[in-house]
Chain A
Amino acid sequence: MSTVISSKRTAPPPAAAAEPPSRTGRRQQRIAAAVLLTPFTALLVAVFLVPVGYAIYLSFFGEDHEGLGFGGGRTVFTGLRSYLAVLQDPSFLTGFGTIALYCVIFVPLVVLSALAIALLLDSGLVRLRRTAQMLLYLPHAVPGIIAAVLWLYLYTPGLSPIIKVFAQADITIDFLGLHTVLPSIVNIALWSGLGYNMIIFYAALQALPREVIEAATIDGAGGIRTALQVKVPIIRGSLVMVCMFSLIGALQLFTEPMLMNQATPMVNSRFTPNMYIYDAAFRRNNYGLASAASVILLIVTCALSYAVTRWSGRRERSAR
C-alpha cells in the first residue's frame, strides 16, 4: 500500500512545465499574469488593505476630551489608549470566552459531521446520492440572516410549533435560556456549515485514486477501516483547511447572535468580539475603541490561522 502512495508522490512533473519558455513567451506570460492578477489585487487593496489601514489609523487616533468632556472633543493621536481600554474591558474578554466555548462545540461538530456524511456518501452505501447531497447542501444556500430569522421563529416561545408540540407533552423547552442559547446558536450555524464542508470533503474523496481503495480492500480492510485509516489521512489537507475556515468563521460570529440579541437578553449586545465592535462603533460612538478591537480581532485570527497551519504542517511532516 505504501509503495503505491510513494510512487504516486514521486511521479515526474508534466513535461510541458519543464520546457524553458522563449523570450516572447515569457513576456506574454508576464502580461497574462498581470492581467489575471490585477482584479484580485485591486479588490484586495480596496476591500481589505485600505480598510485595515484605516482601522489601524483610527485605533491610534480618537476623540479626546478634557475633564468632564462637555467642552467638545478634538481628534488627536491617542497612542495605545484605545487598545488599553479594550483589553481592560471585561465584556470584550468575555466575548472571546464565549467564542472559545462556541469553537469548542462548533468546530469539531461541524467538521466531524461533514466528514462522516461525506464518507458515507462516498462509500456507496447511500442510495439517491445526488438527492441526498443536494438536500444536505440546501441549508447552505439559505443566506445566514434568513436562516437565523427562521430559527429564531422556531425558538421563540408562543410562536414556535416545536415548543408547542413539546408543551403538549408537558415538556418545557427554552431555546433562549441562559445555558441553552449557545447550543441554539451552534445549531443555526451547523446547518449552513454542514452542507458546505461536506461538499469540500466529498470532492476531495472523489479525487482519491481508486487503486488505493482497491488495494485497501484487497488487503482485507473493511468499509469503516478503509474510511478512517485510508481515506481520511489522504484528505488531511482538506480537513485542515475546513478546520481553519470554520475557526475563522467562528471567530467572526455575528449574524446569528446579533439577531438573537433582539429576542433574548441572554445574548447581550457584546456577546461576541464582532458584536462588541459593532456596539462600540454604533451604540457608544467610540470609533477608536471599535477600531482597536477590530485590529485585535484581526491579529488573533491571523495568529490562530498561522498556528493551525503550522501545527498541521508539523503533524504532516512527522507523519511522513
Chain B
Amino acid sequence: MPGHRRPGRPATGRRTTAGTTTALITLLALLLAGCSGGGADTAKNGPVHLTFWSALRGSQEVVDAFNRTHSNIKVDFAQVPSGEQGGWAKLSNAARAGNAPDVATIEYPQLPGFTIDGVPRDISKLLPDSVRRKILPQALDLTTFDGRTYAVPVDIEPMVFLYRKDIFTKNHIPVPKTWAEFESSARALKKAQPRSRIASLFTTGGTLYMAAYAWQAGAKWYDTSGDTWRVAMDDAPTRKVADYWQRLKDDDLVRVEPGSSQQWRAHLRSGETAGYLAGAWAAGSMMASTPDGKGKWAVAPVPQWDAAKPKVSTQGGSTFMVTKDSNHPKEAMEFISWMVTSPAALRAKLSSGVSSAFPSVPGLVPVARKEMDTSYFSGQDIFGLFDEQAKLIAPTWKWGPRMVSTTTSGDDGLAKAGVGSGSVLEALRDAQNRTMPDLKSLGLSVTER
C-alpha cells in the first residue's frame, strides 16, 4: 500500500495469522525500542543531523530529495512499523527513554494522546507564518490544542465514496447524494445482484470510520469547555449514525468484515463489495491493491444528511511533530516545512508509487493533479473533487486524549455487534466506558455529557 497508510489497523489485517507473528515482534520491538534510535549528533562545522521516523510509504524518497538539495541539514530516516503494529509504542517508549527522533509522524487521532504524554514540542512559535498561512485551516485546527500547535499536518483526507461505476451503471443504480439515497441504492444493488453489497461496516478499524460518519453528522465525541474534557460518544448525531448503520447491518445491506483485511480486499476485487467510504488516500490505495479494477472504479462525494448544507469529515491523514527531545528544533521545523509545502517533496512522495493523499496545503493541489495518472478512474479529476470536498470539512471535531485504546475498545464492540451480540451504539458506549477510568487516572478534568 504505497503513498499513504490508513491509520488504525495494518494493511495485512490484524485478525490474520500474520498478525500472530506481529504480536511476538511487537513484544520484541517494545524491548528493543529503548536501545534503538537516538538523538542527533552535533557537529560544530558539518551539517546538522536529524533523525526522522515515519511509517508513511515514500518517506525515503522524500528524505533523499531533501538531502540532495540541502547541505546544512542531513536527515537520517528510519521506516517504523505502522502505529497498530508497534509504531506508536516504539515512539512513546523512545520518548520515555529520552531518545525519540527529532521528527516523527503521527496520525491526527493519536496526536492529543501523545501531546498529553509530552512527546511533541509546542511549535506555536517555531512554525513560520508563511507555512501556517498555506495550510488548510481545518487541518491545522486538528493539531492545535488550547491555542498551541503541536504538529504540522502533511495531508488531510476528506471522506469520499469510491464505487464500482460499471456495476452501478449496469443496474441503473443512482450514485447516492444523501444517506437516504445511499440506503435505497444499497437495497437496489442487493436486489439486482444478490451477492453484492454497497459497502462494508468495518469491525477492525471500524471505530475510526464511525468517528468520521459521526463527525459529518455533527457529533462531538470529545469536546472541551474551559479546562474540562466533555465526552459523549453517544450524543444525538452519533445515535442517528449508529442506528443508521445498525439498520444497514440488520437488513444485510452492508458487508460486516474487518477493515483492510484480505477478505475485504477479495470482495472489492470480485465486485461483491461495490463501494468503499474512506478518505481521499483510498483512491491511490485502490489503484495499488486492486489493479484489475482499472476503468471500473469512480469517486463520488460522500453522501450527505442534508444535501442543502453539505458537510464533510476526514478519515485518515498524518502530521509531523518535532519532539521534545530534539536538540535541533529549528532545523527540524525547516525540514518539516519543506516536506509539507514544497512541490519537490510532494513529487518525490508521489514518485514512490501510487498515492492520492490529499496535501494539507491546497496550493499544492495542481502539483498532485499533474503528477497523478488518473486513468484508473477513467481520467476523472479526482483531485478536483477532493479539493471541493476538503473545503467542506466541518471544523467542529476534536480527537480525544486516548484514541489508541478508545478505538481498540470500540472495534471489539463492533466485532461483537457484527455477530449479533450488542449493537453499534453499544460498542461506542462501551468504548467510552472503557476510556473514562484511564482519563480520570491521568488526572484530567473530565465529564460525561
Contact = CB atoms under 8 A, between A and B. Distances in A.
B405 A178 contact: no
Interface stretch (A24-32, A42-50, A121-129, A260-268): A260-268
A63 B442 contact: yes
Interface string A69-92: 111110000100110111011111
Interface string B403-446: 01100110110111011010000000010011011101111110
Nearest to B402: A284
Interface stretch (B45-53, B115-123, B363-371, B386-394): B115-123
Interface stretch (A98-106, A149-157, A236-244, A296-304): A149-157
A262 B224 contact: no
A274 interface: no
Most A CB contacts (10 A, CB to CB) among B23, B96, B113, B411 go to B23
B353 interface: no
Contact of A68 (B437, B441, B444): B444
Interface string A252-291: 0000001101111110111000000001101111101100
Given A259-B23, A262-B20, A263-B19, A68 B442 contact: no
Contacts of B416: 178, 265-266
A182 to B, nearest CB: 14
B433 A90 contact: yes
Interface string B134-156: 00000000000110101000000
A203 interface: no
Nearest to B258: A265
Contact of B442 (A65, A86, A282): A65
A269 B404 contact: no
Given A68-B146, A69-B401, A265-B416, A88 B437 contact: yes
Interface string A150-180: 0011001001000000000000000001100
Contact of A268 (B15, B412, B442): B412
Contacts of B421: 178
A259 B21 CA distance: 9
A240 to B, nearest CB: 35
Contacts of A269: 405, 408-409, 412
A70 B146 CA distance: 7
B156 to A, nearest CB: 21
A156 B437 CA distance: 34
Interface in A115-162: 145, 149, 152-153, 156, 159
Nearest to B30: A282
B443 A68 contact: no
Contact of A283 (B22, B224, B228, B404): B404
Given A68-B146, A262-B14, A90 B118 contact: no
A234 B211 CA distance: 62
Interface in B20-67: 20, 22-24, 30
B209 interface: no
A106 B418 CA distance: 28
Interface residues of A, number: 52
A73 B116 CA distance: 7
B14 A268 contact: no
Nearest to B412: A268
A19 B282 CA distance: 86
Contacts of A263: 15-17, 19-20
A60 to B, nearest CB: 12
Contact of B118 (A64, A73, A264, A284): A73
Contact of A265 (B22, B203, B402): B203
Contacts of B15: 262-265
Most B CB contacts (10 A, CB to CB) among A65, A145, A285 go to A285
Nearest to A261: B23
Contact of B434 (A65, A262, A270, A285): A270
Interface in A13-71: 62-71
Interface string B79-100: 0000000000100100010000
B315 interface: no
Nearest to A287: B96
B129 interface: no
Nearest to A176: B15
A85 B440 contact: yes
Interface residues of B, number: 57
B115 A70 contact: yes
A82 B16 CA distance: 35
A260 to B, nearest CB: 9
B54 to A, nearest CB: 20
A262 B22 contact: yes
B124 to A, nearest CB: 11
B89 A62 contact: no
A153 B16 CA distance: 10
A285 B441 contact: no
Contacts of A64: 442-443
B251 interface: no
B355 interface: no
Nearest to A152: B20
B314 interface: no
B118 A282 contact: no
Given A178-B421, A265-B15, A288 B441 contact: yes
A152 B17 contact: yes
A292 B442 CA distance: 13
B229 interface: yes
A90 B146 CA distance: 31
B196 interface: no
Contacts of A62: 441-443
A286 B441 contact: yes
Contacts of A72: 116, 118
Contacts of A282: 30, 89
A42 B258 CA distance: 49
B444 A69 contact: yes
A152 B16 CA distance: 10
Top 8 A-B residue pairs of the complex, sorted by shortest distance between their CB atoms: A265-B415, A67-B227, A85-B441, A268-B412, A89-B437, A262-B19, A85-B437, A64-B443
Given A63-B117, A91-B434, A269-B405, 6 more contacts: A68-B145, A70-B112, A70-B146, A262-B20, A263-B20, A286-B442
Interface of B: 14-17, 19-20, 22-24, 30, 89, 92, 96, 112-113, 115-118, 145-146, 148, 150, 203-204, 224, 226-229, 258, 401-402, 404-405, 408-409, 411-412, 414-416, 418-419, 421, 430, 433-434, 436-438, 440-445
20 contacts: A63-B117, A64-B442, A67-B228, A68-B227, A68-B445, A73-B116, A84-B440, A89-B437, A178-B419, A259-B23, A262-B22, A262-B23, A263-B16, A263-B17, A263-B19, A266-B415, A268-B408, A269-B409, A285-B113, A292-B441
